[in-house]
Amino acid sequence: MNDLEQLISDALHARDREAPDGAHLLSDVRAKVAVRRRRDWTSAVMAALATAGVVTAVIAVLPDERHAAPPVAETPAAVEAIEAPPPTPPPDTQAVSYHGVEVFVPADWGVDATRCGTPMRDTVIIEDGRGQLACLVAEPPGLTVVRVSPAVDSPRAAVATEAVTVSGQPARRGVGTPAGRGERELAVLVLPGPGVVVSVESPDAKLAAELLDAVRIVAVDSVGCRDRYTLAGSRLPYRPGAAAQLVLGEPTTARICRYADDWLGGSAAVAPAEVVRLVGILNALPVGTSTPGPGYFASEEICAEDLHRGFVIQFGYDDAAPEPLDVVVHISGCDGLSASNGMRTTKINEPLVSFLLTAVGYDGHYPNPTELR
Amino acid sequence: MSDPGTSFDGFVRARGPTLLRFAYSLTGDGGLAEDLVQDALAKAYRRWDNAAAIERPEAYVRRIVVTTYISWHRRRSNREVPAPIPDRVATDDVEAFVQRDAVWRAMAELPRRQRAVLVLRYYEARPDAEIAVLLGCAEGTVRSLAARAFASLRREPEIAGSAGSSAPLREETR
């Protein structure tokens, strides 16, 4: 260490006794968490209500701050990370996963089939805080709409007063009438464990009940994706030779798991014929990381969040040593736009981004894939 | 999570002061350091089940501290105000104190990523490879940031006069 380096070290250490002592750090953090949750929740409710054209009702349904639960009580308890075999979906249904909760809706329904946030046909909607433009599109009559929301203190949760059990975990369930929509029933299931509310608005009370009956809490969804995945900092499963090639050998299966805030937000199994194409795309990627084009801007805060938003592609093999291979892909953020198997990191390109978006969509703003450098 | 070593509360109690000292070195301001650590812990709290599951939760939180600190770059003006000269100057070696104070003030003017590199290298004694992981950049970028920081510090007369013309700096020899 030379003189200047020593001087910098001395200057920094000489000052550390002036640092705050942290006597109230824990209580201050809890207060900040409470404010953040309230702000996030309010934003989500405002967006949802604005798209439904009922902004004027917001004041009436906001929870009374004085009666808000303490922040610790609001924390979603962890779902036990038991690696169970993927459950088999009921016949003629499609599974939609969110935060460790799997909802089954008829196979011909839409997923997020909305325009400006307004349902346009029978659909399941993941209300994960994405902003939607409110353009006052009229909703077709007679729709059944399932909403999956991350907030346990959703206004709809108030109608769920009956204690029930879902997948062995305590839950609450109830029925009511949606505000201003007397022709439909509102059926609500509150799952405090994963911190999710599932609600169904439908003119068919029996259908609404059946949809809630089918909801389950899973550590691994029917595609095989884990409910949670630490995208930043976790070690990927190791497979010998992974430093030389992104995808080794000839995987026979692949699934794409999309995570936001490290929670599962979407999943899809890759068709066998498409597995080869996906491997080809990945193995053609050059080493390095991609840079967004000039038209892309994301705030630093969003970029920090994007560390916990991305895709995990999990390949399976039929060979004798079936070590799994995960490839983590980030398509948004300030830097680190890449695909990585933990040993080899490559740039991303438009074919890969398109493949992933087609399979499971994305819940954030991402740079134009044709402008990646 | 009953183990106080991995529970969130236990972690904050045990490691909070260390994180605050680290944040103080980054921000140069007690209030900002508290704000920074609170922000980082609030973010970690939301993902604590995963943070505790990884091998070193402190490394996870520390990375959030660093990324949050750097993310303040655009959201906050550079509000750091060099702390007043403490009373101990009377008993300290005056020349050494003046140099350290000059370094402290000059570091307050550095871009955040450059300052973060210096703090991680010379306060936390972390190798460049680890700093690169924390900052989410290449190791070469760490060296480049350090070189630019040194160049800025050398321009300060009180620093250049004493340490600026000494032996080649670490990053220049690599």
Quote the CA–CA distance of A282 and A291 in Å, as a whole number. 17
DSSP strand pairing (A145-149 vs A123-126): parallel
Residue in A2, A4, A332 to test binding to B, most B beta-carbons within 10 Å = A4
Q: Specify the pLDDT at position A212.
A: 94
Nearest CA in chain B to A9: B122
What is the phi-psi region of residue A262: left when phi exceeds 0, alpha when psi lies from -120 to 50, beta otherwise?
left
**B107 contacts A8? CB cut-off 8 A:** yes
Name the helix (H) or strand (E) containing A301.
Answer: helix A300-306
Q: Specify the pLDDT at position A81.
A: 29
Residue in B50, B65, B145 to test binding to A, most A beta-carbons within 10 Å = B50
Q: What residues of chain B lie within 8 A of the CB of A8, using their CB? A: 103, 107, 118, 122, 153
pLDDT tens digits along A151-187? 655 667 788 889 999 988 889 999 988 766 667 889 9
- What average pLDDT does this structure show over A86-114? 80
Amino acid at B75: R
Q: Specify the pLDDT at position A335.
A: 73
For residues B33 and A284, the model is more confident at: A284
pLDDT tens digits along A63-87? 332 222 222 222 222 222 233 444 5
Q: Flag whether pLDDT at A234 surpasses 70.
A: no
Q: Flag whether pLDDT at A19 surpasses 80.
A: yes
Nearest CA in chain B to A303: B71
Q: How far is A353 from chain B (nearest CA, A)?
A: 21
Residue in B2, B18, B46, B162 to test binding to A, most A beta-carbons within 10 Å = B46
Q: Which residue ranges of chain B lie beneath pLDDT 70?
A: 1-6, 49-55, 71-93, 161-174
Greatest mean pLDDT range, A110-124, A154-168, A229-243, B11-25: B11-25
What are the tokens at A349? 């390109």
What are the tokens at A198? 């599932």
Indicate whether this complex's ipTM tops 0.85.
Answer: no
Q: Residue A3 is nearest to which of B23, B137, B163, comparing CB atoms?
A: B163
Q: What residues of chain B lie within 8 A of the CB of A336, using their CB? A: 136
Q: Specify the pLDDT at position B30.
A: 82
Q: What is the dihedral of CA A241, A247, A248, A250, to 10 degrees?
A: 170
pLDDT tens digits along A308-322? 889 999 988 876 555
Q: Specify the pLDDT at position A180.
A: 61
Return the DSSP state at A10.
H
Q: Specify the pLDDT at position B83.
A: 45
What are the backbone angles phi and psi of residue B129, rounded to the nearest 5°?
Answer: -60, -40
Q: What is the dihedral of CA B158, B161, B165, B167, to 10 degrees?
A: -70
Q: What residues of chain A lie within 8 A of the CB of B153, using their CB? A: 4, 8
Q: Flag whether pLDDT at A214 surpasses 80.
A: yes
Nearest CA in chain B to A334: B136
Q: How far is B144 from chain A (nearest CA, A)?
A: 15
3-state SS, chain B, equals CCCCCCCHHHHHHHHHHHHHHHHHHHHCCHHHHHHHHHHHHHHHHHCHHHHHHCCCHHHHHHHHHHHHHHHHHHHCCCCCCCCCCCHHHHCCCHHHHHHHHHHHHHHHCCCHHHHHHHHHHHCCCCCHHHHHHHHCCCHHHHHHHHHHHHHHHHCCHHHHCCCCCCCCCHHHHC
Q: Flag whether pLDDT at A211 surpasses 90.
A: yes
Report whether A284 contacts A247 (CB < 8 A): no
Q: Specify the pLDDT at position B170.
A: 43
Q: Specify the pLDDT at position A118.
A: 80
- What average pLDDT does this structure show over A134-142? 71
Greatest mean pLDDT range, A21-25, A99-103, A254-258, B130-134: A254-258
Q: Residue A29 is nearest to which of B25, B38, B122, comparing CB atoms?
A: B38
Quote the CA–CA distance of A356 and A370 in Å, as a whole number. 14
Q: What residues of chain A lie within 8 A of the CB of B53, using their CB? A: 81, 230
Band (A284; pLDDT cuts 50, 70, 90): very high
**A261 contacts B71? CB cut-off 8 A:** no
**A5 contacts B169? CB cut-off 8 A:** yes
Amino acid at A233: G
- What average pLDDT does this structure show over A86-101? 76
